[in-house]
Each structure stands twice: as C-alpha cells, then as structure tokens.
Amino acid sequence: MNATLDDLRRRTPGRRILLTGAAAVVSMDPESGVLPGADLLIEDDRIAAVGPDLAADDALVLDVTGAILAPGFVDTHRHAWEAQLRRIMPDVNDLGQYVTSTLAGIAPAYQPHDMYIGTRLAALTAIDSGITTMLDFSHNSRTAAHSDAAIRALAETGIRGVHASMRPHFGNWDGQWPADLTRLHDTYFAPGGLLTLRLAALATDEVAGPDLAYGERLARIARDFGIGVSIDAVFGLPSSAAILGWAEQDLLGPDVSLIHCTGLTPQAWQAMADTGTNVALAPTSDAQIGLESAIPAIDEALAVGIRPGLSIDVEVALASDMFTQMRALHAIQRMRAVHAAYGTGDQPAARIGVHDVLDFATLQGAKSIGLGDVTGSLTPGKQADVLVVRAEDLNNMPLNDPIGTLVLGSDARNVEAVFIAGQVRKWAGTVLDLDLAALREDVHASRDRILNATS
C-alpha cells in the first residue's frame, strides 16, 4: 500500500520509509554511482540502504515509479536576507553598483523582521527547487536580534542551514560581532542538528576595511569555536597575495572555503590545493555581474585537483535555483574548452560533463562547507536528504540518461518530493507548512518598508 502524506507525518520513531520502484537512483556516491530500478530505505533521519529489491516489511512504502532519486543540492553561498529584493537590479553593471546600491544603500534599512522574512523566503525557495542545504552568508547582522531572526528563519523552514555570520559592510551597527558568536554558538547550534555555524569574512580590505578581512584574528576565533570559515570576494591579484600570506601563516585548510576565486594567480591556486582549501563557485554571479575575469574558475580549480561546490550568491540580480548554476557552468566551461582547442582561447582543458556539475552541486558542495560526511550523496549512514524528481513529465520524457535529465532537463516543477533528515518538506510538488498568501503579504510589506525607508 502506498503511504500518504498523513502516514509520513504521523510516523512513529523507528518506523522506516521505503522509496521503491525508482527509474534510477543517482547516488553521487563514487562507489555506487547510478543504480537503475533501485530502492532507498530511510531509517529515522538517515539512509539505511540503497539497492534493488530492498526488503522492509515494517516500512511505510512510497511507490516512486517513473522518478529519479537524487541527493539534495547544496548551495554553498547565498546572501539570503536579500530575497525580498529579488531581481530588483537584473542588469547590474558591476560589483561596484551592487555594493553601492544594496550593501551601502539598502542594507542599513533592514530591521530584524526583514532579516527573518528574506531568509525564510530564500530557504523555502531553496527547498522548492531541491536545495536541501543552504549556506546563508549573513552579512547584515546589525544587532544580535538581526542574527537571531536569520537563524530562526532557517530553523523554522526545516532546511539544513549553515549560518555564516558577519557584520555589515557599511552603516550603523551595534559592534556585537564577532563577540556575539559565543552567544550564537551556545544558543542555537547543538551538535548533530540541522543548523551549523560558520564564520564569514572577506578576502581583503578593499570593499569594507580591515576588520572584515580574513587573517590571524578571525582564524583564531573560528578555531577556538571549532567552526569553519567562508571567505567572500576572493578576486584577482590582491586576493592572490592574501592567499599566499594565509598559506605562510597556516590559516588555510579543509575548514576554509574561498568564494568566487576569479582572476587568481597560478601560485595562489597551488597554495589552495597544497593546503586542502575548498572553493565555492558562483557561476552566474561571476559571469553576469562581471567579477574580475567574469569566467567561473572551474578550469583553474580542476587543474590543481580542487573540485568546487556551487552557489547562488545574490538574488537581487540572479536566479534562485541550482539547476541554473549547473547549466551555466556546464555551458561556459565547454564553450571555453572548445575555444581553446581551436586556438582562440586559453590553454586547452578537457570538457566537463553533466556528472561533473551534478557532483559539484551535491557531494563537492557538501565537502566544501564541512558537511561531506553528513550529506551530498545517497550513501548509507548519511543523512536522508533526498529528492524525488519526476522523470516522465512533459519536459523530461522519455528518460534516457538520469544524470543528463537532472542537469539539463529538470527544474523546480519536476521536484515531486524533498526529504531533509528523513522529514518530508515538499510533497506532490508543493512545499509543506507554508501559507503562501501570508508569506506573500509579509514579503511585499517588508520590501515596501525597506524601499520607502531608502527612497
């Protein structure tokens, strides 16, 4: 008997869930790969087994015939508080325009409730499009209440949320950061929970001054807490010099993720590789906003053995979903490789494929923000962050290649169900526990208040 949504929500502790009859399980586990016609068993919050003809007499059974099962996407970097300003500047000219208009002009008007509304909207949209893990690079924490509101929004949506904490670039604020990390760490981030804390910083002092530039002080704070660091605005020669300095000071490593990484020198890339430092690319952001070279640094990363994660970045000018990031990176890199092969571009590189970009959007993304042992693949023992994607919808049928269908054919409308830590968060194509009309009213009211305050 096929289980209903009510069955899933009334599930008693220990009652397992068996997803059976999938057209394919795209595990993204290097050993398991793609399993045609396989089943997936969830026990509590974890994946118990993946394979054909699984037996689980006590389980709630979900017939997923005609669907692909895949790990949830991992967004390694999004400024979630900006969500109610979506596409407010779709043809942004450059980074300077974004910084001036959004970070200097609009951000100071945000109240804690606006932080809550923007972050909640971003997280719910992420779940809708199959993103089960989202790193919120929360760089508008003007007061402790602003931070609390952003974290509360992540918690209430049920997403696997990473709160990367940073003070604002410009405008008045309470001066509570980074000291407030102690309170945040002790209040919200219990081991094994859905929420994770990271420290957020910038690469250099060019944008907002020396207090936000990563270095010995911020590295020491992060290490004292045992948390990772995500560093934004990693561009060009100044960031390259900073990276070499960090390497000399032993401030790089697997607990550090560098964001963008466009226009870096070969020496900087080698230092990153030698120290096991992670990279989070933002394909549409780099290309559309024109960050340094405007070319996502995928070839540079792969050349030194770094497999990066992917991210959304700023919704004020960009798409909100991971399907767009995968397709953009896939197209840009292959175009660049063809140009090089014909002598019209850079040094030739091998063309990446759809498996590569799906790997970046799942397993590598999880690894890059310190969650590689938790999520990113459908591996027994990992958390049950699972997508059910309809493969026989109008835009996907007939199913010929499961990974090609996920990367090049699918979008949010095909995401039938989303499980996060074994809990259903989207069902029958609809995000659960969401009053859409009320959310719409809150989003419009927040946006209007912010824009009126800055006009």
Give pLDDT tens digits for 172-188: 999 999 999 999 999 99
Q: Report pLDDT for 348.
A: 64
11-39: pLDDT as tens digits: 988 899 999 999 999 999 999 999 999 99
Q: What is the mean pLDDT of residues 192-206?
A: 95
Least confident of 81-95, 153-167, 307-321, 330-344: 330-344
Q: What is the mean pLDDT of residues 338-345?
A: 78
Residue 426: which H helix or E strand, with range?
Answer: strand 423-427
- CB atoms under 10 Å from CB of 224, counted, come to 11
> What is the C-alpha separation between 81 and 120, in angstroms, rounded?
8
Q: What is the mean pLDDT of residues 238-254?
A: 98
Q: Domain 5-71+377-431: give its CATH architecture.
A: Roll (2.30)
Q: State the span(s) of the chain assigned CATH 3.20.20.140.
A: 73-368
Q: Report pLDDT for 339.
A: 85
Q: Report pLDDT for 1.
A: 55
Contact status, residue 33 vs residue 325, Cβ threshold 8 Å:
no
Contact status, residue 220 vs residue 250, Cβ threshold 8 Å:
no
Place of tokens 């924490």: 141
424-439: pLDDT as tens digits: 999 999 999 999 999 9
Judged by DSSP in three states, 91 sits in coil
Q: Residue 139, CB half-sphere, CA atoms under 13 Å: how many?
A: 24
Q: Report pLDDT for 96.
A: 92
Backbone angles phi, psi at 135, to 5 degrees: -90, 115
103-153: pLDDT as tens digits: 999 999 999 999 999 999 999 999 999 999 999 999 999 999 999 999 999
Instruction: Name the token pair of 446.
Output: 């927040």
Q: Report pLDDT for 221.
A: 97
> What is the C-alpha separation between 189 and 42, in angstroms, rounded?
24
Mean of pLDDT over the chain? 96
> What is the C-alpha separation between 74 and 53, in angstroms, rounded?
29
Is the pLDDT at 347 greater than 70? The verdict is no
pTM: 0.97
366-382: pLDDT as tens digits: 999 999 999 999 999 99
> What is the C-alpha separation between 196 and 229, in angstroms, rounded?
12
Q: State the span(s) of the chain assigned CATH 2.30.40.10.
A: 5-71+377-431
Looking at residue 45, the DSSP 8-state letter turns out to be: T
Q: What is the mean pLDDT of residues 405-422?
A: 98
Position 345 confidence tier, pLDDT thresholds 50, 70, 90 = low
Q: What is the mean pLDDT of residues 236-247?
A: 97
> What is the C-alpha separation between 424 and 323, in angstroms, rounded?
21
Position 340 confidence tier, pLDDT thresholds 50, 70, 90 = confident
Class of domain 73-368: alpha beta
Q: What is the mean pLDDT of residues 64-85?
A: 98
High-pLDDT (> 70) share of the chain, %: 98
Which distant-in-sequence residues (6+ apart) come within 8 Å of 119 by Cβ? 80, 81, 83, 136, 138, 149, 150, 153, 154
Q: Report pLDDT for 244.
A: 98
Using a 10 angstrom Cβ sphere, with 0-12 exposed, 13-18 middle and 19 or more buried, the burial of residue 411 is middle
Position 245 confidence tier, pLDDT thresholds 50, 70, 90 = very high
277-332: pLDDT as tens digits: 999 999 999 999 999 999 999 999 999 999 999 999 999 999 999 999 999 999 99
Q: Report pLDDT for 455.
A: 85
Pairing of strands 195-202, 278-281: unpaired
Task: Give every strand in the sheet of 415-420, ordered side by side.
Answer: 34-36, 24-26, 67-71, 386-390, 415-420, 423-427, 430-431
In one letter, which amino acid is 365?
G
Q: Report pLDDT for 342.
A: 80
Backbone angles phi, psi at 17, to 5 degrees: -125, 130
